[in-house]
Structure 1
Amino acid sequence: MPQSEKKVVYTNQQCVGCNRCITGCPSLGANYATVRNGTFQVLVNNTFCVQCGKCKQECSHSIRQYTDDTTAFFDALKNNKKLALIVSPALYTVYPEETPGILGYLKSLGVTCIYDGAIGGDISALAHIQYMYEHPTEGRISSTCSALTNYVEKHKPELIPTLAPVQIPAVCLALYMRDYVGIQKEIAYISPCIAEIGITENFETKSAIRYVITIEHLLEYLKDTDTASYSADFDKHSQDLGYLLSNAGGLKEVVEHYSATQETILPFSDLKSLGEGPESVSTALLSSENSFFVEFMQCEHGCLTGTGLQDKTITTKNILLTYNRTRNVKIADFKNRRFSNPQEAINQAIKHLSVSGKELQLHDFYRKFTAIGVSEKEITPEELEKAYLSMGKNTPQSRRIDCRHCGYGSCALMAEAIAKGYNVPDNCGSYKKQKALKIYTTDVSTGLPNKLSMFETGNQLITDKTFTDYTYVLIQTRNLFLYNEWFGYERTNIVLREFGEIATHYLEKEEKLFFVESGKFVLFLNKAHVKYLVFLLNHLMLPSLSNQGDFTLHFSVRAGIYEPTGAEKDFSDILQCLYATMMQDPNSDVVYYNQDIADKTTTQLMYVQQVPQAIADKEFFVVYQPKVNQCTNTLEGAEALIRWRRNGVIVSPDNFIPICESTGIIQQIDFYVLNQVCSAIDSWLSQGLEPVKVSVNFSKQHFSHFDVAKRIRNIVDNWYIPHELIEIEFTETAYNEDKNMLATAISQLKKDNFSVSIDDFGSGYSSLSLLENLTFDVLKLDKSLIDTLLQNAQSQIVVTNIVKMAKDLQMKTVAEGVETQETATLLKDLNCDMIQGYFYDKPLEQEEFEKRLKNKTYTVSGKSQSE
């Protein structure tokens, strides 16, 4: 019958959602997955729960809890209520030394009489034997386990006719105490089982038991009480074999000793084994062809390891040793009686239980079972299919993974649970992996597959030897930085997402689109579709750019196109060719990879491959180009520049710097230059020379790392060089990559007393925004502004205002690429602080630069006073 709402299994707030409770549960709907307090948890639906306690046994986090009558029982004693008590044999079997003290303490509180629960086992065993005798040809199940009877009443009502209609041992004893012994006091029961908690509300018991106290909760309540100073024994002990029912297989053993029937008795201890299908216990029990009796105990060793008796400090081995000692005594005593026939043994047992001439009537301990009528939602095939698809399971193979991460035994059960509302797709292990992989391989800003996904897909095509079926296109968004400045990053991401969505719409079936980085996309296209799609993508009208008031912005792109040769071994080979293509002819909308690009790429890649060894072999060296103060004609600083002497020949920086930038190896070169500069300054200080501040270039590639400033400081500190002698130059394009990383690096460097300069100022669109958002010590005018200074009046106006603005911002200015007296004079008139260029000095190797340090004053261009 229905359980009290106060006596239920529940999940406490610390549930971690491990699903082990679902694994042990025999009822599909008893556990349901939900999000509570922001955490995924599995809660209990007590409409479906049978209080079997398997979830509690499975839970290794002690999250599953339950309520019983322990507190109410002790409150009643405190209020001077006199109670009778039944004690399960599990208590004195598991805690043989503690039991006398516990019983004595309870009697001191007002318990008037205590009965050995094994007496209920005697009655229940005799009632079962009588029922077997009365129904010799029917398949039946013992009803000594409340977990089973709760389950059948709720979930398997068709099995009710197969249940032996006998009360559980505790109820048998309670009815006996009330109706035969005449005890009118309320009866409490110390139980090892959570499923027995509900017997207080079972109509069939006629309220024979008022309080159910689990052994676990009893001991928890008494943990601070010294019960050892008390002692008491049972007021009535069992005189027969009822004690054996406390262990799994005990009923079978009792029947065999009484030899009242030649029953085939089959043990089982898993509610799930009732199951469905032709091989299930249910089918066998309902079959008219079978005649056997099933003894069921939910727990492996019956009540001795019950769900309300969990104590990890006591081993099962010790429990069974105690049990076997008592069992052996009981059996020896039974055999010593030397009954002439089975009926004599049964009559003797009934006589032991008869009171004051009132003979025990076993039918008084029969009961009726009632279908409670728990109904689950009926699901249609369409709903089940929807549940499968919600977990990303759209193939027969994916529906048979059966990893059991969800707690169910199969994907089919998980789909059924989702369809019925008991679980959610996010609790599916394979779905979570797919989801995590998708997140890992998806760009957040555009929703498109990312660079990792591109490499995985491309390399799989190479493995499958189908990669030559495609033409590969690299799309570069023009003026991306302008969008960022005008609209902000968030809206620019919307622009890129719109582009991705529209481009995806025009893709053919097997074509693919990936977002790579910084406004770059890669397409895998069918060869016949390339020209049309590239033209289309360069003439898209994006919604977010169309509504700009009086004007419309057109989304414009460049495309680099590569046809694979079939010799590519890795997708990185294809991507390198695409990047090499985009580096050619920047004014063209479309550039095709050709032999010239291939030759140049091959040469550049060769250089890249040789860089690490070249560094090790000291083929790289640093030159220093002086920075001269025009007002004083003195050396005030220098820029450190990398050079590569390979086989006695200087390799042009244009041949290796760009490809090192694109591959990221430039980072290794930048730190190598810094280390060499620190070594040189250390040498100059050792010679007693007065060094000037040396600037070192750092590529935008460094701003994918949050610790660039720390690494710079560590290298400089390793040489014990004053920070004031080092200046770090960032190119204007670094701002296009990650302004937050750049801002963080600059802030940290300035905090550490390094000077920071912005290189190539005026070469891009970011100039003014840079000065608005970041703080620099030095501004270096780009050579493109200097080259037109003499011929273009507008250039003079621009430079004049840049210099003035820099001074207003407390920044020094440096003009690089100065080659003539006329340009130098004009820059001096425009108040530019320093000149760098061939007019004064070419880049000098360390030995030559040391001469400049010894005499820092220039008389004419390129000449110091000593010369």
Structure 2
Amino acid sequence: MHRLLKRQIKKYLLTNEPDEELTRFLASIDQAYQQNERELSLIDRSLELASTELSSRNESLRREVEKQQLIQKELSLSLAALNATFDSTGEAILAINLEGNVTKYNQMAGQLFNSNILTREPLSLIKLKTVISQLDDTSRLGHKFRQIKHNPLVELYGQLRLKDGRFFEYHTSAQIQGEQILGRVWCFRDISELKHNEAMVQHQAFHDALTGLPNRALLDDRLSHGITYCNRFNTHLSVLFIDLDDFKKVNDNAGHQAGDAVLKEVTRRIKTCIRDVDTIARLGGDEFVVLLENLQESKISTVISHRIIDEIVKPFVVGDSEFYISSSIGISMYPKDGIDSEELLRKADMAMYHAKALGKNNHQYFDSELERSSNQQLQVENHLREAIGNDEFHLNYQPKIDLKSNAIIGFEALLRWNRAGGMNTPDIFIPVAEQTGLINEIGDWVLKQVCSDVKKWLELGYGLLPVAINVSPVEFRNKKLVEQIKATIIEYGIPPEAIEIEITESLFLDNISFVKEILKDLRDFGISVAVDDFGTGYSSLQYLHELPIDILKIDKSFILDLSNQPHNAAIADSIINLAHNLGLKVVAEGIENQASMSFLKHRGCDIGQGFFMYKPMRSEELMELIV
């Protein structure tokens, strides 16, 4: 019996045993209770199962919500990172839909383009064409848009110039999602600085850094164009090759900064002398070239050359210093003197050197004789190089005598070249050797040969008779000259007093303080110094007084025929008196007759040299003479 029914019977019914009818009734009730118990149990079980399933689903839903929240957070972070990357890139990026509207842009786009254009209207209404309205020439993109219309998948690259002068490089490609084209992405990069640097490099490649003038490369190009123009329109052009005379003294005396200032002023002055259509170029150093085009007659070249010469000869003021220089100009004409730029420049250069040879501060036109002379010079140079290696040089020695005692007191070493063909005279090959720098090697050979001969004479007991060696101004510019002379003398073991150095007055036009330093160094070592060919060049009495020199040599042009040339006699007499007043000895070279020798003795000249006494001779003959 059901427990609840038992409690109720016990509580409400008598303790007597129930009758049969009551028993059946109670059994029915008990059955109802049992049925209810089973149903309640089933309900509880059903509720329990439902609750368990609901809890499980609720947990699954909670986990799904957390998962979605995590995904959302990750997406937000990823999107933030993507936007940060999008905004931090150095390129301006614009996403454009198929209607041509801007759908997205980054911060750089707002910086590169006018930000007002991107913010004054809703984003969906901003057109790409509105953005690029800042371009200097929007028509340049027209061709690109036609390409895109023809092929929506095409990738395009290019460069654009904005109205404000900036340059942009761009790249555009289709924006695709799956198989659907959403629009295009345009990327822009500011390359203004790159363009500026490229322009600078381009300018530097074709212009002189100091003056900003065209250089040789650009000059060649303009010459080529000028020649083409001449051929087409039957006109002429001329090339003016300008070299500044004695410009080196500006750098030597005042420094390269002052020299640069002078070069800039030279540039300005030349520009005032030529037409706007003409070209002025700097080839380097103190060399300039002016190209005159579209000429109908050559006299224009003459007129402009005179202008340039007159302008450059005016004083140059740099700081507190004032400089005077001049210019030598060589002129070649097209088509008379050449058919290309190289030939025209080469021949103008020849003419310029001819102008220098004629005294500087003038202009000269090229002619065929100059080319013949230049070819001869080249031939001499080639033969000189062979002569050094083939031992074709030898020395002659001309005795110098004391005009009081007629005793030999020394010699002058004279270089001779054993080569046939008419190019072996010093007047021809020495200038070529100086121009090519071969004079340094030749001078070194002369010094060693003299030292060798002097050593031999001393060993044979002939006594100390100094030998004079001519030193070129070119050799003097060699900063190692003094060390080389000292080293050679020490190497051969002869006394320094056995060597005398002869220089010319032209050396005084160089850096005088540098010359003074070298001469002092040589004299301190024991070598005497003579000024050769005195009276034919430029000498300041102040220099003669200040420079450490021992001897003045009167040039032979003043010694010839002294008895019949009163002017020469007066000059020779003046030089002798000047030298003695300065405490210097005097040597007269070129004595060829008794009258000249007698005059010089009477005037008190110390030393004589010439064919009248002794001709130049080889070392072997000299030893016989001394004996």
Alignment of 1:657 with 2:430, yes or no, is: yes
Distance 1:486 1:818, change over 3 A: farther
Cα distance in structure 2, aligned partners of 1:825 and 1:484? 47
Counterpart of 1:502 in structure 2 is 269
Alignment of 1:535 with 2:306, yes or no, is: yes
Partner AA of 2:590 in structure 1: G
Q: Which region of structure 1 is more displaced relative to structure 2, 748-757 or 726-735?
A: 748-757
Counterpart of 2:143 in structure 1 is none
The superposition leaves residues 825-846 of structure 1 with CA deviations (integer Å, 9 ceiling, x where unpaired) of 2222332221122222222222
Distance 1:432 1:598, change over 3 A: closer
Counterpart of 1:669 in structure 2 is 442
Partner AA of 1:630 in structure 2: L
The superposition leaves residues 197-236 of structure 1 with CA deviations (integer Å, 9 ceiling, x where unpaired) of xxxxxxxxxxxxxxxxxxxxxxxxxxxxxxxxxxxxxxxx
Counterpart of 2:93 in structure 1 is 277
Cα distance in structure 2, aligned partners of 1:131 and 1:275? 36
> Do the aligned residues in 2 keep the contact of 1:481 with 1:736 (CA within 8 Å)?
no
> Do the aligned residues in 1 keep the contact of 2:270 with 2:311 (CA within 8 Å)?
no
Distance 1:132 1:766, change over 3 A: farther
Counterpart of 1:562 in structure 2 is 332
> Do the aligned residues in 2 keep the contact of 1:474 with 1:522 (CA within 8 Å)?
yes
Superposed counterparts of 1:701-780, under 5 Å:
701-780=474-553
1:512 to 268, 271, 280: 280
> Do the aligned residues in 2 keep the contact of 1:724 with 1:753 (CA within 8 Å)?
yes
Cα distance in structure 2, aligned partners of 1:461 and 1:576? 18
Counterpart of 1:94 in structure 2 is none
> Do the aligned residues in 1 keep the contact of 2:220 with 2:341 (CA within 8 Å)?
no
For 1:758, what is the secondary structure of its paired residue?
A: strand
- Structure 2 gap segments, 5+ residues each: 1-64, 96-101, 116-135, 137-160, 170-188, 231-235, 318-322
Alignment of 1:845 with 2:608, yes or no, is: no
> Do the aligned residues in 2 keep the contact of 1:448 with 1:500 (CA within 8 Å)?
no
2:417 to 633, 644, 667: 644
For 1:561, what is the secondary structure of its paired residue?
A: strand
Cα distance in structure 1, aligned partners of 2:609 and 2:451? 21
Counterpart of 2:238 in structure 1 is 471
Cα distance in structure 1, aligned partners of 2:528 and 2:88? 74
For 1:733, what is the secondary structure of its paired residue?
A: helix
Cα distance in structure 1, aligned partners of 2:611 and 2:266? 47
Distance 1:621 1:434, change over 3 A: farther
Distance 1:497 1:618, change over 3 A: same
> Do the aligned residues in 2 keep the contact of 1:499 with 1:542 (CA within 8 Å)?
no
The superposition leaves residues 667-692 of structure 1 with CA deviations (integer Å, 9 ceiling, x where unpaired) of 22222222221222233233332242
Counterpart of 2:72 in structure 1 is 136
Cα distance in structure 2, aligned partners of 1:288 and 1:475? 63
> Do the aligned residues in 2 keep the contact of 1:495 with 1:544 (CA within 8 Å)?
no
> Do the aligned residues in 2 keep the contact of 1:477 with 1:520 (CA within 8 Å)?
yes
- Structure 1 gap segments, 5+ residues each: 1-128, 143-161, 165-265, 280-285, 291-374, 380-384, 386-394, 402-409, 417-424, 547-552, 855-867
Cα distance in structure 2, aligned partners of 1:576 and 1:481? 19
Q: TM-score, normalised by structure 1?
A: 0.45
Alignment of 1:616 with 2:385, yes or no, is: no
The superposition leaves residues 687-711 of structure 1 with CA deviations (integer Å, 9 ceiling, x where unpaired) of 3322421121121222443222122
Alignment of 1:825 with 2:604, yes or no, is: no
Q: After TM superposition, give the deviation of residue 611 of structure 1 in Å.
A: 0.5
For 2:306, what is the secondary structure of its paired residue?
A: helix
Q: After TM superposition, give the deviation of residue 607 of structure 1 in Å.
A: 0.9
Cα distance in structure 1, aligned partners of 2:283 and 2:327? 14
Q: After TM superposition, give the deviation of residue 526 of structure 1 in Å.
A: 3.6
> Do the aligned residues in 1 keep the contact of 2:168 with 2:190 (CA within 8 Å)?
yes
Distance 1:475 1:631, change over 3 A: farther
Q: After TM superposition, give the deviation of residue 617 of structure 1 in Å.
A: 1.3
For 2:72, what is the secondary structure of its paired residue?
A: coil
Q: After TM superposition, give the deviation of residue 765 of structure 1 in Å.
A: 2.7
Counterpart of 1:355 in structure 2 is none
Cα distance in structure 1, aligned partners of 2:104 and 2:349? 76
Q: After TM superposition, give the deviation of residue 476 of structure 1 in Å.
A: 5.8
Distance 1:482 1:835, change over 3 A: farther
For 2:559, what is the secondary structure of its paired residue?
A: helix
Partner AA of 2:491 in structure 1: N
Cα distance in structure 2, aligned partners of 1:598 and 1:617? 28
Alignment of 1:678 with 2:446, yes or no, is: no
Q: After TM superposition, give the deviation of residue 633 of structure 1 in Å.
A: 0.8
Aligned residues: 472
Cα distance in structure 1, aligned partners of 2:403 and 2:374? 42
Partner AA of 2:398 in structure 1: Q
Counterpart of 1:206 in structure 2 is none
Cα distance in structure 2, aligned partners of 1:132 and 1:829? 128
Partner AA of 1:619 in structure 2: E
> Do the aligned residues in 2 keep the contact of 1:495 with 1:542 (CA within 8 Å)?
no
Distance 1:522 1:464, change over 3 A: closer
Partner AA of 1:603 in structure 2: Q
Distance 1:460 1:413, change over 3 A: closer
For 2:191, what is the secondary structure of its paired residue?
A: helix
Cα distance in structure 2, aligned partners of 1:698 and 1:837? 20
Partner AA of 1:661 in structure 2: E
Distance 1:543 1:654, change over 3 A: closer
Cα distance in structure 1, aligned partners of 2:593 and 2:67? 119
Cα distance in structure 2, aligned partners of 1:807 and 1:631? 16
Ranked by relative contact order (alpha carbons within 8 Å, sequence separation 6 or more), the top structure is 1
> Do the aligned residues in 2 keep the contact of 1:625 with 1:641 (CA within 8 Å)?
yes
> Do the aligned residues in 2 keep the contact of 1:640 with 1:695 (CA within 8 Å)?
yes
Higher relative strand content:
2
For 2:377, what is the secondary structure of its paired residue?
A: helix
Cα distance in structure 2, aligned partners of 1:527 and 1:762? 48
Distance 1:746 1:430, change over 3 A: farther
Distance 1:730 1:514, change over 3 A: farther
Q: After TM superposition, give the deviation of residue 613 of structure 1 in Å.
A: 0.8
For 2:396, what is the secondary structure of its paired residue?
A: strand
Cα distance in structure 2, aligned partners of 1:141 and 1:788? 111
Q: After TM superposition, give the deviation of residue 532 of structure 1 in Å.
A: 2.5
Cα distance in structure 1, aligned partners of 2:407 and 2:202? 65
Distance 1:543 1:288, change over 3 A: closer
Distance 1:476 1:274, change over 3 A: closer
> Do the aligned residues in 2 keep the contact of 1:670 with 1:698 (CA within 8 Å)?
yes
The superposition leaves residues 362-385 of structure 1 with CA deviations (integer Å, 9 ceiling, x where unpaired) of xxxxxxxxxxxxx99x99xxxxx9
Counterpart of 1:412 in structure 2 is 191
Distance 1:460 1:767, change over 3 A: farther
Partner AA of 1:711 in structure 2: Q
Distance 1:130 1:524, change over 3 A: farther
Distance 1:462 1:523, change over 3 A: closer
For 1:136, what is the secondary structure of its paired residue?
A: helix
